[in-house]
Amino acid sequence: MPSGPLAPAQAHLQASLERVRQRIRAAEQHSGRALGCVALLAVTKAFGPELVASAAALGQRAFGENYVQEAIAKIERLRACAGLPELEWHFIGPIQSNKTRLIATHFQWVQTIERITIAQRLSAQRPQALPPLQVLLQVNVSGEASKSGVAPAELLGLAHEVAALPRLQLRGLMAIPQPGLPPAAQHASFAQLRELLENMRESLRARVQDASAPLDTLSMGMSADFEAAIAEGSTMVRVGSAIFGERP
């Protein structure tokens, strides 16, 4: 990185990224959780590769994208960018079955699995040269904004099927509760997801023996509600606008 004064846009990004990191630390502390136990996924949909490169230069490594073509254009631009460390890409948008091969080839994580057919395609299409794809099941918790996500009653069935797929490594759960819920309802949605993960862990204990990849991930919390999510056990917050500003 150049050691001269930061360009204004870079200085602005540095300040907002630092503010989000501090809010995460404060929330960890406030809820009695270990400092550093919550990972930050920077959500870059609608922003260009230059901004991703700037965030990477500030130490951010994990990025979330919602649209396959847009994401792959960025991933390839950044891969060609000399001097950048290796980045970790998470797919967090709805998955169409004709896009699974691209997703399986370009991403390290997929957070939005809600159907076994999609999981089977991702497993079959994951290139042999790459490590298993790290996956989360998206759950439709109460107060879900969209209709996406598996219903809680169907989660364990899906989890057992996904855990058996050879090229996927099931890591946990993800949810997108409705924005703007009153605090009590917000906390209840996040607590519900945490309880579902605990049940799933119990139910899969015999099946998932690989201790190097535990069911350790609870992806919940966005710009507007990540403190509540951390209080309820989130291990990964997905933050876009609080870091990068309103999407263009």
Ligand X SMILES: *Cc1c(COP(=O)(O)O)cnc(C)c1O
Cα–Cα nearest to 243, from 222, 217, 212: 222
Please state, as a whole number, how many other Cβ atoms lie within 10 Å of the Cβ of residue 127.
12
User: Judged by CB under 6 A, does residue 240 bind ligand X?
Assistant: yes
Q: Which pair of tokens denotes residue 81?
A: 């960018």
Binding test (CB under 6 A) with ligand X, winner from 137, 170, 222, 231: 222
- Work out the burial of residue 187: count CB atoms within 10 Å of its CB; fewer than 13 is exposed, 13-18 middle, 19 or more buried: middle
Cα–Cα nearest to 137, from 112, 166, 107: 112
Nearer Cβ to ligand X (93/208): 93
Residues 103 to 162 in contact with ligand X, rule: CB under 6 A = none
Nearer Cβ to ligand X (48/203): 48
Question: Could you give the 3-state DSSP secondary structure of residue 21?
Answer: helix
* Helix 68-79 vs helix 49-57: crossing angle, to nearest 10: 50
β-pairing, 62-65 vs 39-43, is: parallel
Question: Could you give the 3-state DSSP secondary structure of residue 206?
Answer: coil
Residues 87 to 106 in contact with ligand X, rule: CB under 6 A = 92
Please state the closest distance from residue 223 (CB atom) to ligand X, in A.
3
User: Judged by CB under 6 A, does residue 66 bind ligand X?
Assistant: yes
Q: Which stretch binds ligand X (CB under 6 A): 6-14, 27-35, 143-151, 220-228?
A: 220-228
User: Judged by CB under 6 A, does residue 52 bind ligand X?
Assistant: no
Nearer Cβ to ligand X (167/238): 238
Q: Which stretch binds ligand X (CB under 6 A): 31-39, 129-137, 198-206, 240-248?
A: 240-248
Q: Which residues are at the interface with ligand X (CB under 6 A)?
A: 43, 45, 66, 92, 176, 222-224, 238-242
